[in-house]
């Protein structure tokens, strides 16, 4: 029997259910032009009856790339941990494809540098050191960088999403800031650095 990889072992331990609850994310946010381009993509899909982050839950979502998603946390400890990390400055994500995830979620697929992967690993380590519960998909080595687009694409709408995304690729997105974002409320805690 083949040895189970680290990510598969985390999935097996957690079960297959992915609960839709509260979560706090450490997000990389984009400059105005990049944010506008992602919002325009959301708008094109919404006009074709595909749900995106524009119409998901509280409707206050920001185009972003999440370094980490927490299932339990102390916000003051998390803020302090993020503020203690070095400012790595702006970066560019080069989106070159489409990713699909369970339950009809579709995202832009950015290529990232080894430095960006190391940044994510430092963030995850700093967060777990606070006692926060890091979602298994954001454990270093299991993280799949993505910029969320569609939230419930199934059947024919999946082809619509992939075609609509392909029409805007390649898509460079310029990261110029970071924040903590509560996914259940949309509350944002801006960070004074990009970890």
What's the predicted TM-score (pTM) here? 0.87
Mean pLDDT in residue range 19-41: 89
H or E element in which residue 36 lies? helix 32-46
Q: Where are the domains of the chain?
A: 23-190
pLDDT score recorded for residue 183:
84
pLDDT score recorded for residue 18:
31
- Specify the CATH number of the domain 23-190: 3.90.1140.10
Mean pLDDT, the chain, whole residue set: 89
The per-type count for the chain, helices as H runs and strands as E runs, is 5, 8
Tokens 């080894």 belong to residue: 114
Before 170, cis peptide (omega within 30)?
Answer: yes
């Amino acid at each position: 029997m083949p040895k189970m990889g680290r990510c598969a072992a985390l999935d097996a331990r957690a079960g297959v259910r992915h609960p839709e609850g509260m979560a706090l994310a450490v997000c990389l946010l984009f400059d105005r032009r990049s944010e506008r381009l992602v919002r325009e993509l959301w708008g094109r899909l919404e006009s074709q009856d595909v749900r995106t982050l524009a119409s998901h839950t509280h409707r206050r979502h920001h185009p972003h790339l999440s370094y980490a998603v927490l299932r339990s946390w102390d916000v003051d400890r998390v803020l302090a941990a993020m503020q203690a990390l070095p400012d790595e400055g702006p970066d560019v994500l080069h989106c070159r494809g489409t990713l699909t995830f369970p339950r009809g979620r579709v995202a832009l697929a950015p290529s990232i540098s080894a430095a960006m992967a190391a940044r994510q690993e430092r963030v995850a380590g700093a967060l777990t050191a606070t006692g926060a519960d890091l979602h298994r998909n954001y454990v270093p080595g299991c993280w799949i960088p993505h910029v969320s687009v569609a939230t419930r694409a199934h059947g024919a709408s999946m082809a619509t999403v992939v075609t609509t995304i392909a029409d805007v690729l390649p898509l460079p997105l310029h990261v110029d800031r970071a924040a903590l974002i509560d996914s259940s409320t949309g509350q944002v805690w801006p960070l004074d650095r990009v970890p």
